[in-house]
Structure 1
């Protein structure tokens, strides 16, 4: 249905009906609604125009469309054209988007080394562009690259940063997608924890993943984004099954009504395969066989059919049907060979395109300058990885690095905004973000030059006081608390008041920085329980 709408829009004459910019905006809407075919048709019209700025943006969108449609040779071929236009007009934002898309394409075609090179370039260019949307896309893609490379800690770090950028931009689609990617990464960590025999950690991490999947489902439903909703729903079902809650998982999957008019073949296959896998894990072998056979019948590609065939063979074997298992395993291996052969052919074609692209690059002198810029960007990336994008303060990772050498002679304050959820609920998340930015400035200006203020997470900040004993630390904490309470917050929003609670710990309380931090955290919550807007330290603080 959406494809037909896209075709009609693409055929409309621009004069008097829609400008090229308006058409491109429509193409973006179709892309975000999981209709890359319609987006490609409209963007092709814009790319053929004579406005180089719109042409660069349209070509970048076309590259992304080809990626979603699994047309990887076309991705690299068109990327070369898109980059030529971007370089000619200096469109760094579109250039970053193209590099990030190429990185994903190379990743999916099993060229992890080149994928990493491309994403590093994308991050460098995005940062240089100053465009937050380009930075968000490049950062989110880096998270995806790290996920497929099974570097899940890095995946979570980059996805968290991309999600925060998305919230700043009001991009709920990307925010939801990043949250669900984090859910997938956490489930991989939970599986690893279980394999290592740490069941407590496995269940705890799985619970985090389930919460993230539920949040992603809520966002997708609010946006009417069925593709994101069903992917998150499938992930939630798998994590529930992992935690021994198969009945709840099956209830979720049974409640999803497949709509062939709205759901792509890949989505239909995904939900059927997930349903079958959960049934298989819970011992419902007959049901599993039915769902997995349906998944194979609806598979949109040999690769997808191969995955379902492997699951189906396992279901037959567990159900005691050895003939069915053997026949399906044979089918699985036949599909595996075909998929491998097609991948090899595709890789050969991609190699040719990449060689042509390399030959089209700038001269050796420009290339050396590019390498120097990349090295600089890597240094900047390291700096940015230690920075909170909302407040400009250091982040939790930065604090961890500072504490790694020990906290002897230091004091640490954990500062938490009282009733922050009420601020968001009564005044809006935009006001909440403003409060955090202003509070960051207040804390920074109230501290000495060698003290460090970081955003610890959410509405919580940490202040690392250097060369501070208990009396000095208490005095500083009380001053910070009082300055926050006395500030005119009504300038941010009428009727707004803000107070903070502070937990204080001295570095000399333990040689383990983690213990010191935990004690500050305990005292913070003691301050909360005592009525908020107060300081709690190693001994009673007035």
Structure 2
């Protein structure tokens, strides 16, 4: 029996257990100290009233209940958080993480997966790799418990990857341990053994007593499963059984050193299984009775029932079929065994085989029929639960896909709106900003200039005799001239400046933090570049010049009056002979 299996099956609300890493407690620094935990006493109905304070207090309480193995109370605390209207997305995800683990331990695997997957979405969005690794382990166990091995495998692989990516060795240890368990369940015993060895080696580098115990105990359990598989194939399993026996003895010693009765009872159970496989019956019986007494004294009822089954198995292996039959009949009559279908299958199978060997065929037939009915019930329950979990998983994934699609559609609409807005403010021919863009940008430039006390200059630029270009060469060539002009305008402007096509062959340049003289110099460079441009490559015999009028903004002046002055300076340049720059004198 592994640590993960036994905690769910045997933890009593009144038994204090060591905190498990899934709860987010400080496992990296060793075993957490629970002596200062202020846990409310009383039945679950009183818990919420006692921790009524803040949401964070409820979340902390949910983790502390888990550290004490009190999963009913822990689930109630997490549910209380989710019922609040004022929780943040972080608090909601945290509550679901806690609830996923508590529901796992309580055997509610469907709810464990539901809350775990919802919490995982938040952790992935936050790139919280450590918490992702821990939650992947919880989800892997939930799927594993319902024989959904493929999703369990996906989660253990993700847990290992996330643990290594965030550099947490303790998270990697637990991920490897879960991975070993899943591979064993899938029938890959060799891979399970390999991963168990990796987990054991890693545990020896950690200052974490719980991880050390879990590695030894789980390794012993792995050896049992591998040995049974080898024997089923007719292979000698003595070597792997001896290895498992060594690990089991060290695990028992480790639990004794920790003073942890629950761990010791569990480790002795694995030790008994190994001794039975090795046919060392006297010690197996002695260890089983010791484990049973420890379980009885501490209230570990399920472990005690398991020990009874082991004792009966020892008695049977020694050939005392009548005594073993009586012991198993007593176990079947025990009310606590009624809900444990796996135990009932074990007992009915053993009783069928023993009655058959003793030629008590009527009793053998009865137990065979009970075994058949139980097997069918288990298969039916498992199939139903698997269906619910898969449907739940699909619904959550579909909801996530729908949300992602809605987000993408909103982004596409926003981008399309921006594209349309840009198109509306861009001249389609020259790809320069148009008058609409000017109406948007010019007030901003004026406000910045006024705030910073900087000069601002406008230059109206217009082709000379552009009508002749269209008349002599056609409008297509005229368009090419305008496109070339746009490139020339960009070459004399900076990122802070603005170049606008006002319409036809007229353009506007707005120079930020620029005086009249500097703006006029920029325009002179523009005129020279237009004059020297190889227009003949556009059309044979083509030549072009432009004229410009410059005006500096007078603080407090309206933009329309300012641009009118620049336009007047342009016409002064035209009247003065064209291919020149004229500065408005204010």
* C-alpha separation in 2, matches of 1:55 and 1:133: 25
**Which residue of structure 1 aligns with residue 240 of structure 2?**
205
Alignment of 1:377-416 (within 5 A): none
Q: Which residue of 2 aligns with 1:279?
A: 315
8 Å Cα contact 1:273/1:292 also seen in 2 = yes
Provide the aligned length of Structure 1 versus Structure 2. Answer: 361
Does residue 148 of structure 1 match 2:185? yes
- Taking a change above 3 Å as real, the CA distance of residues 141 and 217 of structure 1, as seen in their structure-2 partners, is same
Q: Kindly tell me: are residues 38 and 15 of structure 1, through their superposed partners in 2, closer, same or farther at Cα, counting changes over 3 Å? A: closer
- In the alignment, what sits opposite 1:358? 397
Instruction: State the shift of 1:355 in Å.
Output: 1.0
The equivalent residue for 2:571 is none
SS of the residue 1:2 aligns to: coil
- Secondary structure in structure 2 of the residue aligned to 1:110: coil
Aligned-pair distance for 1:57? 4.2
Q: CA deviation at 1:246?
A: 0.6
* CA deviation string 1:102-121 (max 9, x = no partner): 22222222222222222222
Contact 1:155 1:182 in 2 (8 A): no
Q: Is the 8 A contact 1:24 1:42 kept in 2?
A: yes
Report the Cα offset of residue 22 of structure 1.
Answer: 4.6
Indicate which of 267, 292, 298 corresponds to 1:232: 267
Change (3 A) 1:320 1:230: farther
User: Quick check: 2:196–2:222 contact (8 Å CA) kept in 1?
Assistant: no
Q: Quick one: distance in 1 between partners of 2:259 and 2:97?
A: 25
What is the correspondence of 1:264-343 to structure 2 with a 5 Å cutoff?
264-296=300-332, 297=334, 298-299=336-337, 300-343=339-382
**Pairing of 1:61-210 with structure 2 (within 5 A):** 61-194=98-231, 199=236, 202-210=237-245
Moved more, 94-103 or 161-170: 161-170
- 2-structure distance, mates of 1:323, 1:12: 58
Q: What pairs with 1:399-438 in structure 2 (closer than 5 Å)?
A: none
SS in 1 for 2:319: coil
The residue aligned with 1:12 is 50
Unaligned runs of at least 5 residues, structure 1: 367-542
CA contact (8 A) 1:227 1:263 kept: no
The partner residue of 1:245 within 280, 297, 304 is: 280
Which stretch shifts more, 247-256 or 118-127?
118-127
- Give the superposition deviation at 1:333: 1.0
Distance 1:266 1:208 in 2: 27
How far apart, in 1, do the equivalents of 2:74 and 2:191 lie?
Answer: 32
Distance in 2, matches of 1:162 and 1:46, equals 35
Gap runs ≥5 in structure 2: 1-12, 16-40, 406-586
1:22-33 equivalences under 5 Å are: 22-31=60-69
1:332 Cα offset (Å): 1.1
Q: Partner residue of 2:14?
A: 2
How far is the alpha carbon of 1:196 from its aligned partner?
5.5
Match of residue 488 from structure 2: none
RMSD across aligned positions (CA): 3.2
Q: Distance in 2 between matches of 1:351 and 1:17?
A: 31
Q: Is the 8 A contact 1:53 1:89 kept in 2?
A: no
User: In 2, distance between residues paired with 1:235 and 1:252?
Assistant: 10
Return closer, same or farther for 1:51/1:260 CA change in 2, 3 Å cut-off.
Answer: farther
Cα separation, partners in 2 of 1:122 and 1:17, compared to 1, 3 Å: closer
Instruction: For 2:207 and 2:323, locate their aligned partners in 1 and report how far apart those are by CA, in whole Å.
Output: 42
Given the two structures, how large is their TM-score scaled by the length of structure 2?
0.55
Alpha-carbon distance change, 39 to 267 in structure 1, aligned in 2, over 3 angstroms? farther
Whose radius of gyration is greater, 1 or 2? 2
